[in-house]
A = this chain, B = another copy of it.
């Protein structure tokens, strides 16, 4: 079997990065983001990146790292609220931004991976999101067409992966990761735990290895954005 396992994040991105590339990065907020691969992408020095990611990280963490170094030219996101550097660059006109409703974004990514170039949705009808998009009526209701999204490289964070690239995700760290795994021309995954093939029950694999070209095991900081707790009585 051709080997999918790489030792480090930097090695895993070797030969994949270039100026003007389109990158997808999994995660919701800071939950389930490919921390190490984002770091390696920064270190690659690739410029003018279009980054498709639900959020833009925070200052100095997650995609915030790539904003600091001005490597990102355009973000495709649904919510970017937690990042001052992002705001500064955007207001200064240094950064392009394309907002997508979260469900439209996730479905566009799924569609891109599934060979579906366009689909109709009610989301955004009558809003700025609909501007310039084809529409069609179904049962006398108006829908807008959204297109599939693909990336040159998808950066994915999973919980456990085997050496064939079969993946399992943990709790809400799953989020955008499984769809992005399908939508990258090359998909690179970092996992908390790399296991031997056959470790998983085949009924409970979230992402089959067919979608994964490269995989590394790497330790994540897993920073918490909003620590909310209750006290024991």
Contacts and interface: CB of A to CB of B under 8 A. Distances in A.
Interface string A96-127: 00000000000100010011111111100000
A138 B117 contact: yes
Contacts of A7: none
Given A170-B203, A203-B171, A120 B118 contact: yes
Contacts of A111: 119
Contacts of A211: none
For chain A, what secondary structure do more than half of its interface residues adopt (helix, strand, loop), or is it mixed?
Answer: mixed
Interface string A151-178: 0000000000000000011110000000
Contacts of A168: 203
Contacts of A28: none
- What are the 5 tightest A-B residue pairs by CB atom distance, in nearest-first order? A117-B138, A119-B119, A204-B204, A118-B120, A116-B119
